[in-house]
Amino acid sequence: MDRYSRQVLVAGIGRSGQEKLLKSKVLIIGCGALGTVIANNLVRAGVGYMKVVDRDFVELDNLQRQMLFDEADVEKRMPKAIAAVDKLRKINSSVKIEAEVKDVTQKNIEELTKDVDIVLDATDNLEIRLLINDTCFKHNIPWIYGAAISSYGMTMNIIPKVTACFRCIISSLPAPGSVDTCDTIGVLNATTSIIASLQSNEALKMLLGDEDLNQELLVINLKDNSFYKIVVKKRDNCPLCGDGVLEFLDKKGPSEPIKLCGREMIQITPQRKMKVSLEHLKRKLERVGEASYLGYLLRFRVEQYELTIFPDGRAFVKGVSDKETARSLYAKYIGV
């Protein structure tokens, strides 16, 4: 208990609160800029069990904001979940920590969320958040949405059947390319650190049973140092809150990536048909790589990869041999 003495002193925690934390179980989905800060905070705070899931490997341009990684992890091309857990175990060996190197899909998310008290969202796309939303609603698990881009960030506690859900906020997936990403317009490490710290603080409050939880969408902008809360109402016709339709959890895999035979190329197909503005997407992508619009498709080259994007959102990702990397590149540069 000595390790936590300064935290135990905080009003509302005490020894009994710390004991609650030591028995708690959390799942962090995504181990990038948000996930590394959340994991670091919660391991130091003394949660009992933590599972960290991520599909990616550590890259040099991650080090600006992904606080648990270093140059040796880049050189070894370490999976993020493994590299993070190695560091976290050195920080607090009394926490039981597990790493899962995998893509979170409708096939494995129920197993991953089994028996956890809360889920922390540290992902990088909207589709997976809608999947987390469905799963947590079905199993009545509170989760904490967090997102950051440039100097702008937001977070919200989503408590099934109590607060508005993520489907209330986003009624359907936007067209690929209509959402900016950290890889197209950048992100400051202060933005991700603050949002992740707010998420981890709300997680501790939830685990402690604190009634003073944030019930609003909290929005920050570090450009003008503004912090404000927005009351988000449940949507009148929300398919999840209203009718319990688990569209993203129950979907039958049309967006499963397909490896094209004999080539280092993978096809990604969006979950539903949609129209992408390739000209708009080209303007965004040419800031970070070589983009050419050929009228019927958009070709984008970045690092050793080439993405060919079609007006229906389908894309060929060339230069990759695994589906996880292909999905990651799609989320990074096209964004959903």
Partner 1 sequence: MSTEKIEVKEDKTIKELVGEMSLSSAPILLELDGEIFYPDENYDRKIQAGNRLTVIPIIAGG
d(CA 202, CA 207): 9
* Residue number, 124 or 202, with CB nearest to partner 1: 124
* Residue number, 223 or 263, with CB nearest to partner 1: 223
Q: 3-state DSSP call for residue 79?
A: strand
Residues of the shown chain interacting with partner 1 in the complex, contacts defined by CB under 8 A:
30, 32-35, 121-126, 129, 146-154, 168-171, 174-175, 178-182, 185, 187, 192, 217, 219, 221, 223, 230-233, 235-237, 274, 280, 335-336
* Residue number, 84 or 265, with CB nearest to partner 1: 84
d(CA 332, CA 55): 13
In the complex, least distance from residue 179 CB atom to partner 1, rounded to whole angstroms: 5
In the complex, least distance from residue 180 CB atom to partner 1, rounded to whole angstroms: 6
Checking phi first, is residue 281 left (phi over 0); if not, alpha (psi -120 to 50) or beta?
alpha
In the complex, least distance from residue 12 CB atom to partner 1, rounded to whole angstroms: 29
At residue 210, what are phi and psi to the nearest 5 degrees?
A: -65, 130
* CB neighbour class for 99 (10 Å; exposed up to 12, middle 13-18, buried from 19): buried
Neighbours of 76 (CB within 10 A): 12
In the complex, least distance from residue 8 CB atom to partner 1, rounded to whole angstroms: 31
**Both structure tokens of 283:** 């303007």
* Residue number, 21 or 39, with CB nearest to partner 1: 39
**Known catalytic membership, residue 182:** yes
Residue with tokens 């670091």: 40
136, 168, 182, 241: which one is catalytic?
A: 182
- Rg of the chain taking only CA atoms, in angstroms: 20
Active site residues: 182
